[in-house]
Amino acid sequence: MEFEREKKIRMYLEIAPLVDIVLLLLVFFMLTSNFIMQPGIKITLPRAQTARPQEEDIVVFITKDNRIYLNDREINIDELKDVLEKKLEKSKKKNVILKADEKINLGLAVKVMDIAKEAKAENLVISTKIEHQDTKAPVGERGNNEGERI
């Protein structure tokens, strides 16, 4: 006498379509992430061979069209001293970093430095790009004259 065995239904998951979907998602996110623009202030820093990296706390930017920014906020030069004093009171380090475009008027840069000193900044650092002595091109910027996004 023969008994009928239960037929087992084998279920399995196809992996090939799953891999296709994962790869498509990966390509999609890689392509779209390239189109995300970094917001910032466009300036071209001057170059110096003896420059050292600095920790950034309070940064004053001067663009080539003579607009002044304190960190990310555009500010009028008349308001700069008051706002700098408030920020320096809250800051542990009393450092102010000046990042000015290399094509600005030197008088404006000196005026901003004076305002920073009047606001009781202990250290005033002028930001530059580090340049190798042998190549005369800034580190990380060889062949690129577009400037730096901050």
How big is the chain, counted in residues?
A: 150
- CATH number of the domain within which 95 lies: 3.30.420.270
State both tokens at 145: 């004259």
Count Cβ atoms within 10 A of the Cβ of residue 83 and give its class: 0-12 exposed, 13-18 middle, 19 or more buried: middle
0.75 exceeded by the pTM?
A: no
Per-residue pLDDT reduced to its tens digit, 58-79: 888 998 888 999 888 898 889 9
Residue 9 lies in a domain: no
The pLDDT confidence band at residue 26, using thresholds 50, 70 and 90, is: very high
Count Cβ atoms within 10 A of the Cβ of residue 18 and give its class: 0-12 exposed, 13-18 middle, 19 or more buried: exposed
Torsion of CA 69, 75, 78, 80, to 10 degrees: -60
Give residue 52's pLDDT.
Answer: 63
Residue 34 lies in a domain: no
Q: Tell me which residue range forms the domain holding 62.
A: 42-149
Give residue 128's pLDDT.
Answer: 78
Give residue 23's pLDDT.
Answer: 95
Residue 48 lies in a domain: yes
Q: How many domains does the chain have?
A: 1
Residue 71 lies in a domain: yes
Residue reference for tokens 């084998």: 10
Residue 33 lies in a domain: no
Per-chain mean pLDDT for the chain: 78
Residue 115 lies in a domain: yes
Give residue 135's pLDDT.
Answer: 52
Give residue 20's pLDDT.
Answer: 93
Residue 81 lies in a domain: yes
Per-residue pLDDT reduced to its tens digit, 123-143: 888 887 777 665 554 444 434
Question: Which of 133, 130, 150 is CA-nearest to residue 141?
Answer: 130
Per-residue pLDDT reduced to its tens digit, 83-124: 998 888 888 788 888 888 888 888 998 999 999 999 888 888
State both tokens at 49: 């061979």
The residue ranking higher by pLDDT, 109 or 147, is 109
Residue 125 lies in a domain: yes
Give residue 1's pLDDT.
Answer: 62
The residue ranking higher by pLDDT, 29 or 47, is 29
What's the Cα-to-Cα distance from 40 to each of 44, 69, 72, 131, 142, rounded to whole Å?
13, 10, 7, 23, 21
Query: Over 80: is that where the pLDDT of 37 sits?
Result: no
